Amino acid sequence: MVDTAGTRTESDSMGPVEVAADRYWGAQTQRSLGNFDIGRDTFVWGRTMIRALGILKKSAALANAELDQLPRDIADLVAQAAQEVVDGELDDHFPLVVFQTGSGTQSNMNSNEVIAGRANEIATGSRGGKDPVHPNDHVNRGQSSNDTFPTAMHIAVVLELAETMYPGVQQLRDTLAAKAEQYADVVMVGRTHLQDATPVTLGQVIGGWVAQIDFAVEDVRRADERARELAIGGTAVGTGLNAHPDFGRLCAQHISTESGHEFSQAGNLFASLSAHDALVAVSAAQRTLAGALMKIANDVRWYASGPRNGIGELAIPENEPGSSIMPGKVNPTQAEAMTMVATRVFGNDATVGFAGSQGNFQLNVYKPVMAHAVLESARLIGDACVSFDANCAVGLEPIHERIEANLASNLMLVTALNRHIGYDKAAAIAKKAHKEGTTLRESAVASGVDGADFDAWVVPMDMTHPSA
C-alpha cells in the first residue's frame, strides 16, 4: 500500500520496509541499497549485466511453463516484464552495486522483484507487491542466486565480448593489416635491445602487430567457448534441488534463442557454482590481448617520437594540443590512452585470478567482482581499439626521409658482409666506422672491400628475407 509520503510497504523474511512508490523493486533490493553503499558512482551494474538478467529470467519462465512448473498466464507475465528488462526500459530500477553478497543474491533478487513488480502492474495496475506474481515463487522458480547469478555473468560476458570487444579489436586489426600491405616495401632500421639491428620492412613490423592481435583474440575465443556453459539448474549447491530435472537444459536452450548466442547447461554444475575457471580463462586471455595492444601502442609512440630529436620515423595524426605550457607540442595521446587501458586490464585480471581461487566448498562468493572486472576489461579493450584506430592507426604514415636517413647510417647493415668476409672482419669494419664517424661503405673500402662488391652485397631490401 502507498502512503502519503510517496512510499509503499514491502516485506520479506526480515519484516516490512518502505520502498519509494515509483520503484518496482521490493524489500530485499531496498535493504541492499542501505547495506551496500559502496562505490555507488562507479560500480552500479551496467546495461549488459541487466540485459543478461532479463534474458535469464525470461528464459527461466518459458522453460518452467513448458515443464508445467508455472501456470502459463503467470509465465507470460514474467516473460513480458523480463523482456522490458532486456530492452532497457527498466534500467533505472537496477540500482545495486557490485560490492554486495558474494553470490550476487541481492542482484538476483533485484531482478526478481523488479520483474514481479512490473508484472503485477501489468496484471493489476498496482506497482510492486507479490500478487499475482511472486518474486521468489514465480520469477525465481527452480533457481537459486548461486546458479542464476553465474549464469547471468556468463551471458553478459559473452554478449560484451561479441558486441563490444571483438568488433573493436577487429576494426583496429583490419586497419593495421591494410597498412602492413601498403608499406610492405618500406625498408627501415630494425631494432633489438633498443639498439640498431638489421633491416626490416614497415610492413613486417605492422604485420607482427597483426599476428599478435590474431593470436590473442583466438585465445579469448577459446575461453569464450567455455563461458557458454551455464550453471543454471544447479540451484543452491549444484544438486538441482527444487528444479525440474530438465529445467537447466531447457532454460539454456531458451537463453540461446533469446540472446542469439549458443549456450548449454554445464556438464558439472558443482564446478560451475564453486569455481569460475571459465571467467578466469577469459580474463587471462584479455590480459594477453592487452599486452599485445600495449606493445603496439608503445611501438607507435617510439617510432613517432620527436618530431626532431627522437626516432621520428612514423607520422601520427595531430589531434589536439599536447601541452599547456609548450606551444605547438603534439603528443601520442591515443597510444597513451591505450597503454593505460592495458594496465587497467592487467589489474582487473589480477582481481579475477585471485577471486577465482577463492571458492570454498560448494560456492565461490566473489562472483560480482569477477563479472564486473571481465565486463569492464571487454568494454575498455573494445572502446580503446576503436579510438586508437579512428584517431591514430588510420593516419599512420612513414616519414620516408627520416627512415632512409636512419637506414643509410645503420652500422648493422654490415651483417650482410658476414657470408663474404667473415664475422670478425665485418665487426672490425663496423667498429671502425663508428669510431671514426665514417659511413659503413667508406670503412669497408678502407679495410680492403671492393666498393662494387659492397654495393652488391649490402642491399637493405635483400636483408629483410632469408638469403638464397
Q: Is 323 a catalytic residue?
A: yes
357 labeled part of a ligand binding site: no
- 193 classed as catalytic: yes
Residue 13 is labelled as binding a ligand? no
**Residues 6+ away with beta carbon under 8 Å from 438:** 432, 446
- Best CA proximity match to 25, nearest among 76, 94, 89, 122: 94
Count the alpha carbons within 13 Å of 368 in the hemisphere toward its beta carbon.
Answer: 20
Is 135 among the annotated ligand-binding positions?
Answer: yes
**Residue 146 among known ligand-binding residues:** yes
From 323, 400, 409, 434, the catalytic residue? 323
CB contact burial 43-72 (16+ within 10 A = b; e otherwise): bbbbebbbbbbbbbbbbbbbbbbbbebbee
Q: Which one of 13, 193, 465, 467 is the catalytic residue?
A: 193
Please check if 324 is assigned to a binding site. yes
Annotated binding-site residue? 6: no
- Three-state DSSP class for residue 412: helix
Q: How many Å apart are CA 402 and CA 169, to the nearest integer?
A: 30
The response to whether 145 counts as a known ligand-binding position is: yes
Q: Are 229 and 188 in contact (CB under 8 A)?
A: no
32 is in an annotated binding site: no
329 is in an annotated binding site: yes
d(CA 379, CA 169): 11
No. of helices (H) and no. of strands (E), the chain = 17, 8
4 assigned binding-site residue? no
**CA-CA distance, 423 to 427, in Å (whole number)?**
6
Q: From CA 381, how far away is CA 386, in angstroms rounded?
A: 9
What is the SS3 assignment for 169-191? HHHHHHHHHHHHHHCCCCEEEEE
Q: Is residue 144 part of an annotated ligand binding site?
A: yes
Q: Is 86 annotated as a binding residue?
A: no
136 annotated to a ligand binding site = yes
Q: Which helix (H) or strand (E) holds 157?
A: helix 145-160
Q: At what angle do helices 277-303 and 145-160 cross, to 10 degrees?
A: 30
Q: Scan for cell 558443482, then name that residue.
A: 270
- Whether 104 has a binding-site annotation, put simply, is yes
* Annotated binding residues: 103-105, 134-137, 144-146, 192, 324, 329-331
* Annotated binding residues for substrate: 103-105, 134-137, 144-146, 192, 324, 329-331
Residues serving a catalytic function are 193, 323
